[in-house]
């Protein structure tokens, strides 16, 4: 995420109580949170090495494109 200058909301004594983000930053944070939620949900699922998945997808693509 690109770093921009953030503006803070402060109370009467100068204590920071909030932050203003651009819509781009806000949407990026929401997307990151959604990704993390999906990762947490799938934590116990079995995984496969990238090379294995890649080969399966290549085979599937070849089979589909030759029809």
Instruction: Examine the pLDDT at 2 and tell me if it is beyond 70.
Output: no
pTM score > 0.75 for this model?
no
In tens, the pLDDT along 24-52 reads: 999 999 999 999 999 999 999 999 999 99
Domain range annotation of the chain: 7-65
Cα 43–chain centre separation: 16
Mean residue pLDDT across the chain:
91
| DSSP letter string, 18-51 | EEE--HHHHHHHHHHHHHHHHHHHTTTS----HH
Tokens encoding 37: 């939620």
Q: Please indicate whether residue 5 or residue 15 has the higher confidence score (pLDDT).
A: 15
pLDDT of residue 32: 98
């Amino acid at each position: 995420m690109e770093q921009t200058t953030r503006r803070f909301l402060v109370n009467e004594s100068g204590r920071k109580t909030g932050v203003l983000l651009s819509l781009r930053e806000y949407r990026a944070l929401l997307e990151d949170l959604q990704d993390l939620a999906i990762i947490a949900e799938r934590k116990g699922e079995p995984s496969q090495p990238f090379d294995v998945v890649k080969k399966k997808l290549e085979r599937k693509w070849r089979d589909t494109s030759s029809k």
